[in-house]
Each structure stands twice: as structure tokens, then as C-alpha cells.
A and B are shown apart, each in its own frame.
Chain A
Amino acid sequence: MAISIDKTECTGCGTCVDACSFGSIRIENEKAVIDDTCTACGACVESCPSGAIKMDVKDRKVELSRYKDVWVVAELKGGKIRQCTFELLGCGRALADTMGHRLCAFVAGKDSGAHVPEMAASGADVVYTIEDAKLGEGTVLPHARVISEAIKDKMPSVVLFSATPFGRDLAPRISRRLSVGLTADCTELSVDKETRNLLQTRPAWGGNLMATIYSPDTRPQMSTVRPGVMKPLAKNPGKKSEVVVLEYLIAPRDLALEVLELKKETAHKVNLTEAKIIVAGGNGVGSKEGFRHLEELAKLLGAEVGGTRIAVEEGWITQDRQVGQTGQSVSPELYFACGISGAIQHRSGMAGSKTIVAVNSDPNAPIFGIADIGMVGDLHKVIPEMIKAIKERRSVQ
């Protein structure tokens, strides 16, 4: 037997009976007993408050083939599905096709059923819905409860979350509850052709190093995926999907955290991560006035203004516009790095941009190493010319 119960430590509390998805444990004479339907999934081992259930390490390997399907955990905001969820569906579709699995969307919340057509049109073969008013947006414990239970029931092979603040709060709790691996903030996902393992690539050391991580022996394989990196599919309104309505009990203890108030930012909230174009400035901009050229260029292009830590510390831009390790990570279509030398702390937050234009007076600035187009010159002269040239280029169209 892979799983054994230490009778001296077992208190007969029955927690493991509830934890077992396969009904393999019963209480006899105030002690837990495991029968031979046990799959050695290990759920009971984690659940035991007395540490009385032990598992042999050799049997940690779960029977991988029993786990099927790629799941995308949808995230709602203001009653709407967030863009990052559609991105997950786009990337999940490719994984599911390669693995020969179904792509399933998991939507939990009030009126979750209303999102089914959208999920189907965006690539899902199956949509799981849970409707419960207790599943408020951003509530970690109730969501952790229902998602963990659904995973135990349905046994998906892959579960993807968005690496939003909510996803990054939620996914670790589920990984701990199910004792499975979780890779944070992935920027690339693929499938190992031979083993069918999910290969999860993420930046480490502020993006200076990429690490590819996998979980060979446990299922599901879970990742949080950086928003703005994956591409959503074009919507196919005719596509239908199977709908499965699930129901799980949310325990009173899952509602322990109470939100008393949300103090909204009164100022225009900058969301650099969703910007298509960013015009960013660094030390070389030199002053708050210097940023005016950047603001003008940004306005012309419908872009957001961003900057380095120095630009924030000098008070030239506000902190919510900081790009880099201690600011936001962005990957827009087009990134202008103006007067930015390209310290690794900054690069780590923007190196994923599709096209990078660098303007710097130092021809040896490291930023040129990652730029697609480098302009060597004084940004205070170059940017006004850029504004002029872009206006001209547009007028001839």
C-alpha cells in the first residue's frame, strides 16, 4: 500500500474521509482505514491534521494518463470577463490541440452562466460554471474552495490562471491544497512532444535568465501566465460548447476575509500592461519639462507615458508609470526608450516588447543591445523631429 495510516496518531476525526475523492477511506473503530480503490493521489495525506497518514515517496507519481483536458480559470472584473482570460484561452487552445485534449473554461461567480457564449466563441470546448453569490470577484478563499473541488472531481491535466494579483493570490493556495506544482508568471507554454509534459517558461532574476519548468510526476500541471503575452483567438460566434454546471459548498471559514471598502484611485489610473504603445523616459530626459516631448509623442501615437525608477524618484513621472523590476512589466507592440541606458532592472520589465526603439546620446548604451531601431543622438532634438516625421508620414497616407 502506497498510503499508510499510523494508528497510534490517527484520532478518527474523519477529515481524510472528506478529502478523498474516490471514497476509499472509512472510519472503523475510531481509526481511518483505506481500501484498495485508493489511487495514491495523496489528498488525504495533506488533509490529516495529525500527520497520521504517510505516503511512500516512490508512489508520489500519480497515474498521469487519468488526467485529461486543459483548463482556463476565467477572471471577472465588473461582471465582465477580463482580456487576460481570452489570452489564456488562445494559448490553452494550442496546448489542448497538441495534447489531444479538450479546452475547458472555468467560470465561477454570480451569473457565471451568462459568459458561456463568449467562452465558446473564444475557443472553449467545455464551459464549467458555478453560480454562487458567495463567489465575489477577487475573493480568494471561496474560489480556492470550488476550484480545488472541481479539479479533484474532473481531473484536468493542465490548469492555467492569469498572473494578475488575484490569480497569483489564488493559484498558490490551490497548488498547496492539492500538493501540486505551480509555476509563476509564465511567458511561454509548450508541450514536450515525447512526454506530453507542459513546459512552462518564466523569467527569473528580473528577466536576465529564463527558466523552463515542468512537473513530471504530478497532475494537474498549473501555471499563472503573464497578461499581455499570449494572443487571444479571433472570436467565432457560431462555435458551441458543452456546458457543465457544478456546485460545491462554500464553508463559512472561506468567508473569513471581509472587504470593508475600496478606496478607488481618484486620478486617472494608468494601466501600462494593456497599453499598445509606451513612450518611456529615463535619466537622460533630465527634467519634468523634458518629459513634455515624450508626452507629446505619446499623445500623437495614442500611447501611455512610462519611465524608469530614476524618473520616478526624481519626480518627473508618477510611480504608477514605472516600468521595470520594481514597477510594472510590460510587453506592448511598440516601446520607445528615450534617454534610458538599459539597466537590467529596467530591461526586465520591458524586454518582451515587440518592437523597441531606443534614443540615446551614448552609442554604447546597453539599451541598443535589445533595440530593433536605435537612434544615437540627443533626445531633445530627436523626439521633436520624430513627431514631425510621424505627422508627415501620416499625412501622405
Chain B
Amino acid sequence: MDIVVLVKQVPNTAEVKIDPKTGTLLREGVDSIINPDDMHALEAALQLKAKHGAKITAISMGPPQAMDALREALAMGVDEGILLTDRAFAGADTLATSYTLGKAVKKVGKYDLVLCGLQAIDGDTAQIGPQVAEFLDIPQVTRATKLEVQGNELHAERLVEDGTEVVKCPLPALVTVIKEMNRPRYPRVQGILAAFLPDAKLKQWGPKDIGAEDNKIGLKGSPTQVQKTFIPNVEKKTEKLTGDPSAMAKTLAERLKERRLL
């Protein structure tokens, strides 16, 4: 079986601060990590490999330092890592990103399953999975919590609003994974060391390598533009009550009444 896992390197949001004046991210000193949902996708691929045997290719799009994410994937047990990196890829919205990733998956050629996380913590759009599935013209199973391959069929469970849905579809298919699926393994120390050796199975691809058209990648290929960013106006006039709990509670009841909330 051939499995492609799409991973994204993201800043560790637990540490991200925002400059209140400029509204820009202060990334300095912030670690980069593999997007949490993508870690679960990698783990799912590795478990399928253990069961059925598979070649796993991890693909990421990002700046050159995103190779670290692929090194980590390699150390977890992935067979090959491909980094899509080029200035022309920069500034991509989800449409351009899904085109780029989709072209890369096609370039890899053989794929029975494409796995990725439901969403990335820096954007929360959850659009890349379905868009890549559409680009590849294959079915999608989102929010998956369980995966099984039976012959040429995928059997999966997915979390829906009122429970768990059991679904099946023919392969190839794209699956977006959520944290309920599994517990990602830690990379092996030997694996980490090996991922830094010159013969590590890592490569970089640019637009030409995947046959991408200039007007469909990066900023040029992105129909959406950011008009502005701003810090949400949370400066509320807070009425702060202190002192005796009983008096505070009475004032609160009064305020809720005034706001017609009682």
C-alpha cells in the first residue's frame, strides 16, 4: 500500500504572542512543531504500515526550515519526506496550497490513501483536506477516529455532531484525522540522528518538479487576500466588584436584570 501524509509545520501556539500595537505575530523564540492533528495522521499511517505493510511519503509545503518537520516524521518511521519549498509558493491561501499539495501527490504517483490532520492550529480552516481530495477527485472522510483497510476499501469511523458515523469507500481516498484517533509515538533517537545524515530519504521540490503553473501557486494563485488584521476589540468596560460575596451577588443580580438576562 502507498500512503501519503500531508504535514504542516506550525509555531507552537501555546507560546505565540501578538504585538498589541502592530497586530503581528511575535514568533521570535517560538518553537516550531508538527501540527498536532498531523501527528495523529502520521501515527495512523504508521499503524497501517505495521499491519499491512506500506510505503509512507510525508509531504510538507513551507520554508526550508520546515524540513525539520519531515526529519521528525522520518524519525517516527516514515519512509520518505518531500518538502515543497520555493519563494513562488509563498503567500498561498488554501486554494493555492491545495493545488500545490495536490500536484505533489500526483507527482508521487502511487497513493492508496492520503492522510492529513483535520486542521492546522495556526489557521483552523480545515479546508486543505477536502480541497486536496477534490483536486485528486477522490472521496474524503473527515474527522476520522478509526481507519481500516480491507482489500480495496477503506472502512472508517468519524465523529459527527450526534455520534460516530461508520463509513466505507473505495480507495484511493483522503482522510482527515482528529486527536481521538490515536496517541502519536515519539520519534526514535536513532531515527532523529539518521534523519540528519546525508543519505536520509529527504528531498526538496520546487514548482517545476511538480509541474505547477505559476499562476496557480503562492500569492498569484490565491484568490483570497487579507485586507487587514486586527486585535479583537475586547477592551470592555469591566465593572469590577470586590468585597462581601453577598453584596457582590446582589449587584450582579441587579446588573443581569438590567441586561434582561434574568
Asked if B160 is at the interface of the complex by the 8 Å CB criterion, the answer is yes
How close is B243's CB to chain A, nearest CB, in angstroms? 8
Q: Once the chains bind, are B134 and A177 in contact (CB under 8 Å)?
A: yes
| Assembly CA distance A180 to B131 (angstroms) | 11
How close is A56's CB to chain B, nearest CB, in angstroms? 8
- Cβ 8 A contact of A173, one of B134, B162, B165, B230: B134
Residues of B within 8 A of A205 (CB): 13, 16, 18, 25, 122
Residues of B within 8 A of A176 (CB): 95, 98, 130-131, 134-135
- Cβ 8 A contact of A210, one of B124, B133, B230: B230
How close is A298's CB to chain B, nearest CB, in angstroms? 14
Known contacts A173-B134, A216-B225; is A259 also within 8 Å of B253 by CB? no
* Mask: chain B, 210-244; 1 = CB below 8 Å from A; 0 = not: 01011100001011111111111011111111110
Number of A-B pairs, beta carbon distance below 8 Å = 251
Residues of A within 8 A of B227 (CB): 199, 212-214
Q: Once the chains bind, are A175 and B95 in contact (CB under 8 Å)?
A: yes
Which of the segments A112-120, A231-239, A279-287, A388-396 contacts the partner chain? A388-396
* Mask: chain A, 194-218; 1 = CB below 8 Å from B; 0 = not: 0000010001111111111111111
Q: Once the chains bind, are A209 and B249 in contact (CB under 8 Å)?
A: no
Asked if A153 is at the interface of the complex by the 8 Å CB criterion, the answer is no
Q: Once the chains bind, are B232 and A264 in contact (CB under 8 Å)?
A: no
Residue ID in chain B nearest A51 by CB atoms: B211
Tell me if B's interface is mostly helix, strand, loop or mixed: mixed
- Cβ 8 A contact of A258, one of B128, B168, B254: B168
Q: Once the chains bind, are A57 and B214 in contact (CB under 8 Å)?
A: yes
Tell me if A's interface is mostly helix, strand, loop or mixed: mixed
| Assembly CA distance A378 to B245 (angstroms) | 8
Residue ID in chain B nearest A219 by CB atoms: B223
* Mask: chain A, 354-368; 1 = CB below 8 Å from B; 0 = not: 011100000100001
Asked if B184 is at the interface of the complex by the 8 Å CB criterion, the answer is no
| Assembly CA distance A175 to B125 (angstroms) | 13
Asked if B141 is at the interface of the complex by the 8 Å CB criterion, the answer is yes
- Cβ 8 A contact of A368, one of B13, B214, B240: B240
| Assembly CA distance A204 to B142 (angstroms) | 21
How close is B26's CB to chain A, nearest CB, in angstroms? 11
Residues of A within 8 A of B133 (CB): 173
How close is A209's CB to chain B, nearest CB, in angstroms? 5
- Cβ 8 A contact of B169, one of A55, A257, A373, A392: A257
Residues of A within 8 A of B160 (CB): 138, 165, 262
On A, residues with C-beta under 8 Å from B are: 51, 54-57, 60, 138, 140-141, 144, 164-165, 168-173, 175-177, 179-185, 199, 203-218, 256-265, 269, 271, 277, 325-326, 333-334, 345, 351, 355-357, 363, 368-378, 381-382, 385-386, 388-390, 392-394
